[in-house]
Amino acid sequence: LMHHNIVSYHNSIASEITSFLIGHRQEISLIVHVVLTEMIEGIWVVHSQFLIQRAEGGVDMVKSWIY
């Protein structure tokens, strides 16, 4: 009996969460979209800074060979 109660309790929590997610679908998808966009932009910023540093390092190396 106890086990059955726990299962039905978990099921009710799951259905509450599900209905919450469905009810707030637009807000949640917006938040997820923003977070993903920020993450991707952040990765690009870090990546491009790294590439710029690499390029500058390469330029300095070439200069040191020339001079």
Q: Give per-residue pLDDT as tens, 22-67.
A: 888 888 888 889 988 888 888 888 888 888 888 888 888 888 887 7
Distance from C-alpha of 41 to C-alpha of 11, rounded to nearest angstrom: 38
pLDDT bracket for residue 8 (50, 70, 90) = confident
Residues 32, 26: Cα–Cα separation, whole Å: 10
Q: How many domains does the chain have?
A: 1
Q: Residue 38: which domain range?
A: 2-66
Task: Identify the pLDDT of residue 1.
Answer: 61
